[in-house]
Amino acid sequence: MAKKTTQPIQRDWLSKTLAGVLLGAVIALVCSGWFTQLNSEMPFAIRGQLAMWMVPPIWLGVLSGTYFFGSGARAWLWLGAVSVLSGGSLAVLRLA
Amino acid sequence: MVGCGQCTQRRQLGSAALGLTHNVFIMRTDFVRIYKSIHTWTGIVTGMALFIAFYTGALTVFKEPLTRWATPPHNTQPVPLADTQQLIVKTLIAQPAVAADFSIHLQDAEHLPARLSWQVRNPGAEDHDESSTQHYVATLDAEGAAKLAQSTPSHLATFIDVLHRVVGLPVDSDANRWVMGIIAGLYALALVSGVVVLLPSLVKDFFALRIGKNIKRMWLDSHNVVGIVSLPFHLVMALTSVGFAYHDGIYLVQDKLLHDGKWGSAFQQQRPVKPVSAPRDPATMLTPIELITKVKEFAPGFEPTTLQYQQVTGPRALVRVWGKDTTAVSPRARGGFAAVDPYSGKVVNSEFLPGRQSTPSLFISSFFALHMAAFGGTAVQWMYFLLGLAGAWLFYSGNLLWVESRRKMKPRQAETLPGQRLDTRLMASATVGVCLGCICGVSLTIVGGKWLHGLVSDMNAWHPILYYAAFFSAITWAFVRGAAQAAIHLLWMAVALTLAIPMTSLLAWLVPALGMWTHTSLSSLGVDATALVGAAALTWMARATSKRVRLGTPDSVWFAGKS
C-alpha cells in the first residue's frame, strides 16, 4: 500500500468518469437484481419499487468514489471485475 | 477548503519523523486536491439551477397556503356534508362519465370552490404536465338540482412547483426532467466531494466561524457549517431527485432484465371481481359521513381531508379516503389514504395509510415523505422551508467563493488596481442575475395573481410570463450594470416586489373597489406574514450589500465605489 502511493494519483477525468457512470450503473443494476432475487417473498410491487430506489444511491456512490482510484485504467479494472463477478454470478443463479 | 491544504501540510511535517505515515498524508492531500476540483466544477455548473430549485422548493412546501392566498373568493355556499350523497347521485345521473374518478372535499377552504370536483386530463399531455387538465365542480342549486360547471383553480403554486421540479424550466416534461436528473447527479457528486475536501480539517474548521477582516474566510466557514449541518437533508434531496428524474428509465431496464417483462402488471388490483351485469346504484353506497366514521374507527389518529371515488358504478368501486396523520409518515405530499369499498364500508387496503404501512412500504414512502416534508405536521414544514432557503444560500455562497478564489489582489505597493478576470466578472453577474432574478420573478408572479385578476382572461397563462419577464430582465440588468451595482438594484427590487405581497392584501382590504381580495384564514395570512419577514430579510441584505459595494476593498468584482 505505502509503495503504490508514492506515485501521484492520475487524474484521468474522462476514463474515471466514464467508469463511474457506466460501470456504476451496471453495479447498481446488479445490486438491485440481487435484492430482487433474495427477496422473492416480498410483494412484487413493493420489491420492484425498492429495487428501483436503490439504483440512484449505489450508482452515484460508485461514481463519487471512482476518483479515489490511482488511475482510470485501475478504475475500469476494479469496477469491471466487480461488475463481471457480481453480474455473472447473478446470471448463473437466475438461469440455474 | 483553502485552510485544509495548509493544515494537512502541517500535519505532514509533524508526522514526517514517523516515516511510515508520511505517504498516507501525501495521498490524502492529493485526494483533497482531486475532490476539490470535482467540488468546484460540479458546484459551478449546477449552483444557479439548484438555487432556483431550492428557493422555489422552499415555497412549494406551502403550496396549499399559496393557492389559497391566490384564489379569488367565490360566493357559492358549499353543499353541507350531510347532503353530499344527494349531490353525488344527482351529478352522476347528469354526467355518468364522472363516476370514473371524482373527489369530495371535506374541508371548507378558499381554494375548494365546491364540495364535489373532478378533472379531465388531456390525453396528449405528458405524465406530470398538469397545465392542460380541465377542472369541473358540481353544486346543488336552490331547487336541489345538480349544477355542473367548469372551474379554473389558481395555478400559481403549481407553477412554482414546476420551477422547483425542473430547476427553473417552464414545463415538467420528460426532457426537462432529464436535465434536472443530470443536475441532481452532479449535485450528489458536489456533496460527496465537498465532504471529502472538508473531512481532513473538519474538527478544526467546523467549530470555527471566523468573522473578521478576512471576508472570504468567513463565507467559507459559513458555507462549510451550513453544508455539513444540512448534509443529510441534501443527500436525501439529491438521491430522491435522481430517482424522480429517471424512475421510468430504471423501471424499464429492470423490467427487461429482472422482472421478465411483468412489471406492468404489478399494480393491477388483486381483488376478485364479482360478476355484475348492470351498473351499480351509487345511492346505495355508504354516505361520506359513514365512510369517514368507518376509517376513523380503523385508524384513530387519521384526519381525512378528501374522498376520492373511483369507478363507483363498476364492480371494482373504491373510495380512497385521503388525509394526514401528523404522528406518522405520509406516503405522498398530500398525505396517505385508506382504500374503502363504498358499498360495504370495508377497508380493503391500508398499504398507503399513514402509520399502517408494512415496513417495506414505509421504506418506499419515506423517500417521498423525506423529500416533500410529508411527516410531522407544520413544524416539519417550517423546518424544510428554512432548510430549503439555507440550501439556496449554500449554492449562492458557493458561486461567490468561486469568484473570490479567482480574485486578483492589488499588491500593497502598486498604484493602480489590477483588472479582475473576465470569467469572474461574468460569473458574478450571472449569479446575481439568476438568483435575485428568481426571487424577483417569484414575488412578481405571486403579486400579479391578485392585480391581474379580472384584467386578463387567462390568469394561469400569466404566471409564467410574469416570472420569466422579471427573471430575464434581472439577468440582463446584471450583465449590463455589472454584479456590484446590479446586486443593489435587484435586491431593492426584490424587497419591493416581496413587500408588495402583504401590501396588496392590505390595500385590497382597505379599498374593496379595487376588485381584489384579502382572505383571513391563518394559511392565507401566513403567506402575507412570511412575505413581510422575507422583505425585511432582503432589506437587510440590500443595505449590507450597498455598504460593501461602496466601502469594501476596491480590488474586487463587488466594488463600485470611488477608489
d(CA B522, CA B398): 36
Mean pLDDT value of segment B310-318? 91
Chain B interface with A: residues with Cβ < 8 Å: 20, 23-24, 26-27, 30-31, 34-35, 38, 185, 188-189, 192-193, 238-240, 242-243, 246-247, 250-251, 253-254, 257-259, 262-263, 266-267, 358, 360-361, 363-364, 367
In this complex, the residue of A8, A55, A64 whose CB is nearest that of residue B250 is A55
Q: Which residue has the higher pLDDT, A19 or B268?
A: A19
Collapse the DSSP code of B73 into the 3-class scheme (helix H, G, I; strand E, B; otherwise coil) and give the result: coil
Mean pLDDT value of segment B343-354? 92
Integer CA distances (angstroms), B90 to B84, B85, B93, B112, in order: 10, 9, 5, 20
In chain B, whose CA is at the least distance from the CA of A62?
B189
Would you call A52 and B38 a contact, using CB atoms and an 8 Å cutoff?
A: no
pLDDT at B236: 97
Q: Is the ipTM of this complex over 0.90?
A: yes
* pLDDT tens-digit readout, B110-147: 898 889 999 998 888 877 777 788 999 999 988 889 99
Cβ neighbours around B264 below 10 Å, total:
10
d(CA B407, CA B424): 8
- Is the separation of the CB atoms in B529 and B502 below 8 Å? yes
Of B395, B497, B405, the C-alpha closest to B445 is: B497
- Is the separation of the CB atoms in B135 and B152 below 8 Å? yes
Q: Is the pLDDT of residue B18 over 50?
A: no
A7 touches chain B (CB under 8 A): no
Cell of B35: 475532490
Q: CA of B20, closest CA in chain A: separation in Å?
A: 8
Mean pLDDT value of segment B201-211? 74
In chain B, whose CA is at the least distance from the CA of A49?
B364
Q: CA of A28, closest CA in chain B: separation in Å?
A: 10
Mean pLDDT value of segment B7-28? 50
pLDDT at B23: 60
pLDDT at B551: 83
In chain B, whose CA is at the least distance from the CA of A68?
B31
- Across chain B, mean pLDDT equals 89
d(CA B444, CA B451): 10
Cell of B198: 472538508
* pLDDT tens-digit readout, A28-85: 999 999 999 999 999 999 999 999 999 999 999 999 999 999 999 999 999 999 999 9
In chain B, whose CA is at the least distance from the CA of A34?
B258
- CB contact burial B158-179 (16+ within 10 A = b; e otherwise): bbbbbbbbbbbbebbbeebbeb
Would you call B243 and A50 a contact, using CB atoms and an 8 Å cutoff?
A: no
pLDDT at B123: 82
Residue B414: which pLDDT band, with cuts at 50, 70 and 90? Answer: confident
Cell of B514: 379595487
Secondary structure (DSSP) of A16-38? HHHIIIIIHHHHHHHHHHHHHHH
pTM for the structure as a whole: 0.91
Mean pLDDT value of segment B533-562? 88
